[in-house]
Chains A and B, each alone.
Chain A
Amino acid sequence: MLSIIARRFAGLLLTLTVMSAAVFVVMEVVPGDPAAIQLGTSARPDTLAALRASMGLDQPALVRYLAWVGGMLHGDFGTSFTYGVPVAGLIAERLAVTLPLAVMAIVLSTLIAIPLGVLAAARHGKAADYGATLFAQLCLAVPNFWIGLLLIVVFAVGLGWFPAGGFPGWSAGIGASLKALLLPALALALPQSAVLARVMRAAVLDVMGEEFVATARAKGLTRRATLWRHVVPNALVPVVTILGLQFSFLIAGAVLVENVFVLPGLGRLAFQALAQRDLLVIRDVVMFLAALVVVVNFLVDMAYLVLDPRLRGRT
C-alpha cells in the first residue's frame, strides 16, 4: 500500500512539472512583454531595456523557467506590477477567501447530494425519485452565477438574512465571514449537487442489486440499516470520482460567483489580473489553481484506497 501511495505521489510531482512547463510555454507564446505592459506604450527604449534586465526578462527561457519554478518552491511568486506587492502574499490573502468558499461548496454539495441520491434510489420510481430528479435537472440547467443572483434577490434583498456581497475579512469574526460565504457557496454547490445526486442515485441502485445486500438483509438488518451500512459506503466510489473531476469546474464557477458576490478571492484576482494584463499574476494564479486541481485529484486517489480495500493491493 505504501508503494501505491508513493507511486501516486511521484505521479503528482510529474504532473506538476509538466503542467508548470505548459503554463510557462503558453505565457511565452502569448503576445505581450510584461515590462512593456508595465511601462506603457510611450516608454523610452533604454528604460524598457533596464526594466527588462531588472525583471530578468533578457535571460534565456530555460533560465527564466527554472528561476520561476525555483522561486515558487521557496514561496517567491514574483511581484505584481498593478498591486506593487509580492504575488505570493496576494494569493495567500485571496486564498483565505476562495479555499473556505470551495470547501463549503463541496461540503454543502455532498450534504445535499448524498441524502438526495439515496432517497431517490430508495424510493425508485416513486414520487420522491421524480422530485429529486426534477430538482437535479433544474440545478443543472441554470448557470451558477444566475443562481447566485437569484439567491441575492431572495435572501439578501428580499429577506435580508444575508449580505448581498462583499467579505468582511476573517478579522471581523468567523460567524460574519461564514455568513458572507454561505450564499456564494450555495450557488456553487447546487449545480454540483445535481450532478452528484444523479451519480449517487445510479450507484446506489447498482449496489442494491448486489448479492451482499441480500446477505445483509438475510442477517435481519432492516432495509434502512442495510442501505446506510452496506449500500452507501460502496456507492461512494463513483461519487468521489465525479467530485474530483468536477473540482476544476467548481474553481471555474468560483471565478464567476466571486464576481457576482464581489468576494476578494482568487477567482476575482484572476479576473482583474486578466483585465489589467498583469501577466505575472495570471501565470502564477493559473499555475496555483491547476496545482490545486491536481492535488485534489491526488486526494481523491487516496480516498479510493480508504473506500475500496481491493485497490490497496495485497499486504
Chain B
Amino acid sequence: MLSVSDLSIALGPPGMPSPQVVRDVSFHLAAGRTLGIVGESGAGKSVLLRALIGLLPDGMRASGTVAFEGRDLLRLSEADMCRVRGARIGMIFQEPMSALNPARRVGEQIAEGIRWHRGVPAAAARAEALRLLERVRIPDAGRRIDAFPHELSGGQRQRVGIAIALATRPALLLADEPTTALDVTVQAEILDLFDELVAELGVALVIVSHDFGVIARIADDTLVMKDGARVEAGGTADVLRAPGHPYTQRLLAAMPRRAAVPRSSGVAPAEEAPLLQLRGITRDYPVGPTPLWGRREKLRALDGVDLDVPVGSIFGIVGESGSGKSTLARIAMALERPTAGRVQFAGEDLFALPERDLRLRRRQFQMVFQDPYGSLDPRVRIGRTIAEPLDLLPDVPHGAEREKLVAQTLESVGLKAEDARRFPHQFSGGQRQRIAIARAIITRPRLVIADEAVSALDVSVQAQILDLLRELRDSHGITIAFITHNLAVLQAIADHVAVMNRGRIVEAGPARAIFDAPREAYTRRLLAAQPVITAGGRGSRSIPPSPSLPAG
C-alpha cells in the first residue's frame, strides 16, 4: 500500500550540490502492518516521516518516489497533497502538549479535520469526535471533549493526538516518537492502543523511535537508520535475533541492561553511617489561583520521605513524572528547604547550619542536570565553567594551580586539557554532559546527585556516560545519587534503588532485590511496563499490561 523507493532528502536549493539528510531509503508497507524506524539523533528518521506527508521543513526537498494508493506523493501538487494529508494519512507527534493548539478545545481540534475533509455539519463532526475520544479510551469523554489541552494529562493529550490523526479514517498512520515524552506505564498503554488500532482498523503504521525497546514491542518490521541511510531492515524478530550489521549490534548492546558483573566492590559495610540521610522529608507547594480570601491550596510534593544513601554506592531513585524525585534532589542539595524533615550529610543537619558554614560544605555535594545544553552558559569558555566551583574551597586555587586542576578534571572525564578554551556549542551532547560532570567533581565532592543525567542522550552515548559514573564511584570513591524515570538505566548501574510514587518512597533496597523480587505492586507495574527486548520480538510480551492502571 505504501511503497517508498530511493527516497533522498537534500538540504538546500535544487540543482546545487547539497548535503543529504536522507539517502536512498526504500521500504514497503502493507495494510495492517507496523513498520518501526529506529536510529539515534541525526539518523534522519523524523525528516523521512515528514517527507512522506509532504511537510518537510523549508529548504529541504525530497527525491525518489513515495507510492501511496496508486499515486506518487512526491509528484502531487500542494493542493492535491492537502486532500491526502489528514484524509488518507494521519500523523502523530512527539510532544503531546505542544502538538495541540493551547487555545482551542480538544473536541474542536478533532472535529476540524472531519469538517475540513468531509464538509459535515458541526454537530455531526462533534458526535464523531466524541466517538473517537471514546475509541482512544479517554475516560469521561463526554466531559473531556470540551476541555482545553492543558486540562488533560500527558497520556490523555497523546490520546487526543491519536484521535486527531484517526479522525478521517486514514489508511496510513505516521507516528514520530509518540511515546518518548510519556511515563513508561503510560507508554505501555499507548503502545497497546496502537496495536489495537492497527489490528481493528487495518491501518498501516509507521512508527519512529530512538528506543529499540519500543520498536521491539510494536513493529512487525524494522528499519535501522544511521546518518540518513538504511543500515539494516527486516522482520523485527529477525533483526533482534540476528542483527546483521555491526551498528545494529552496537545499538542493541548499548541498550542498558542488567549488569552481569558483580556490583560495586566499594559498598560500605552496614555499620558505617550513611553519607546522606533524609528523615521525614515533606514539601508542600501552594497551587492554583490565589483565592480572594484564605490560603491557596497545597500540593504535597513529598510526603515523609526517609532515605539512607550509603557511602561509595550508586543509589538509584526512580519515579514517573510528578513523583517528587527532582524536588527531593533539590532538597538533598540544600537548594530548597523542606516543609518538614531533616537532611543529614556526613552526620550534620544541613538546614541547621549557618548560611556561611553551609556554603563551605557545598563543595562536598554537587549536582549534574538533565539538559547538557541548558546547564552550560553558552558565552563562557568551559574551562571557566568547570573552575567555578573551586571558589567554594577554603583556599581558592589561582593561576597555574587552577589551570592544572581543570586540565586534570577534563582528562578524568575523557576530554582533553586544551578543551578548556572552547565554548559549549563546540561540543556534542555527550561531551557536554562530560563537561557538566567535570564541573561537579572538580572540588572532589563526596556526593554527586545526577538528575536524569543521561535522559537526553542517545543510547550509545548513554552507555559511555554510565561507564564514566561507574568509574567515578570505583576510582574516586564518589557516592552517586542517580535520579531517573528510566528503570533500564538503573538496572545497568545502581547498587541500591528507591522507587518513588506520588511523593513517597514505595520500596527501597539493594538493586538486585528490587529487580528480582519486587515486593510492591507499583514496582511490579513499573517493571512490567518497561519495554524489553526479547528474542521473539513483537507479540512475545512476557507480561501482559495491567488493566488496573489509572489512565494516563
Q: Report which A residues bind B (CB closer than 8 A).
A: 3-4, 6-7, 10, 210-212, 214-223, 225, 229-230, 233-234, 307-310, 313-314
CB distance from B100 to the nearest CB of A (A): 5
B90's partner among A210, A211, A218, A223 (CB-CB below 8 A) is A218
Give how many A-B residue pairs fall within 8 Å (CB-CB). 95
Among B79-87, B278-286, B378-386, which stretch is in contact with chain A? B79-87
Selected interface stretch from B64-72, B161-169, B240-248: B161-169
Q: Are B82 and A7 in contact (CB under 8 A)?
A: no
Task: For the complex, give the distance between the alpha carbons of A6 and B84 in Å.
Answer: 49
Interface of A is mostly: helix
Partner of B116 from A212, A219, A223 at Cβ < 8 Å: A219
CA distance A220 to B168 in the complex (A): 10
A314 touches B288 (CB 8 A): yes
Chain A residues near B113 (CB-CB < 8 A): 219-221
The answer, yes or no, to whether B507 is at the interface (CB within 8 Å) is no
Q: Find out whether the CB atom of B86 lies under 8 angstroms from the CB atom of A212.
A: no
In the complex, A313→B148 CA distance in Å?
Answer: 11
Nearest 4 CB-CB pairings of A with B: A220-B86, A218-B91, A219-B113, A219-B86
A223 to B98, CA, bound (A): 19
Query: Is B289 an interface residue, CB under 8 A from the partner?
Result: yes
Closest B residue to A218 using CB positions: B91
CB-defined contacts of B148 to chain A, threshold 8 Å: 309-310
Is there contact, CB below 8 Å, between B82 and A220? Answer: yes
Is B131 at the interface (CB under 8 A from chain A)?
no
CB distance from A25 to the nearest CB of B (A): 30
Taken together as a complex, chains A and B put the C-alpha atoms of A229 and B104 apart, in Å, by 10
CB < 8 Å neighbour of A314 from B101, B112, B151, B161:
B151
Residue in contact with A3 in the complex, picked from B79, B109, B112, B292, CB distance below 8 Å: B292
B117 to nearest A CB, angstroms?
6
Contact A234 to B102, CB < 8 A, known contacts A219-B85, A221-B116:
yes
Contact A215:B85 (CB < 8 A) given known A307-B103, A308-B102, A314-B151: no
Task: Give how many B residues have a beta carbon under 8 Å from the other chain's beta carbons.
Answer: 41
Task: Give B154 Cβ to nearest chain A Cβ, in Å.
Answer: 14
B260 nearest CB across to chain A (Å): 40
Tell me which residues across on chain A come within 8 A of B151, comparing CB atoms. Answer: 314
Q: Which residues of A contact B289 (CB under 8 A)?
A: 3-4, 7, 313
Q: Is the CB of B103 within 8 A of A308?
A: yes
Complex interface: chain B residues within 8 A of A7 (CB):
289-290, 292
Can you add 15 more A-B contacts, CB < 8 Å, to A211-B98, A215-B101, A309-B102?
Answer: A4-B289, A215-B93, A215-B109, A216-B101, A217-B85, A218-B53, A218-B93, A220-B84, A220-B113, A220-B117, A220-B168, A221-B86, A222-B79, A234-B102, A234-B103
Q: Which residues of the partner chain A approach B292 to less than 8 Å between Cβ atoms?
A: 3, 6-7, 10
Are A214 and B99 in contact (CB-based, < 8 A)? yes
In whole angstroms, how far apart are the Cα atoms of A10 and B168 in the complex?
48
Contacts A309-B150, A313-B288, A314-B151; A218 near B102 (Cβ below 8 A): no
How far apart are A222's CB and chain B's nearest CB, in angstroms? Answer: 5
Some 22 contacts from A to B, beta carbons below 8 A apart, are A6-B292, A7-B289, A7-B292, A10-B292, A211-B93, A212-B100, A214-B55, A215-B91, A217-B85, A218-B91, A219-B116, A221-B116, A222-B78, A223-B78, A230-B101, A234-B103, A309-B150, A310-B102, A310-B148, A310-B150, A313-B288, A314-B288
B121 CB–A CB distance under 8 Å: no
Distance, CA A22 to CA B219, complexed state (A): 70
Measured CB to CB, the closest approach of chain A to B164, in angstroms, equals 6
Residue B227 is within 8 A (CB to CB) of chain A in the complex: no
Q: Does B458 make an interface contact (CB < 8 A)?
A: no
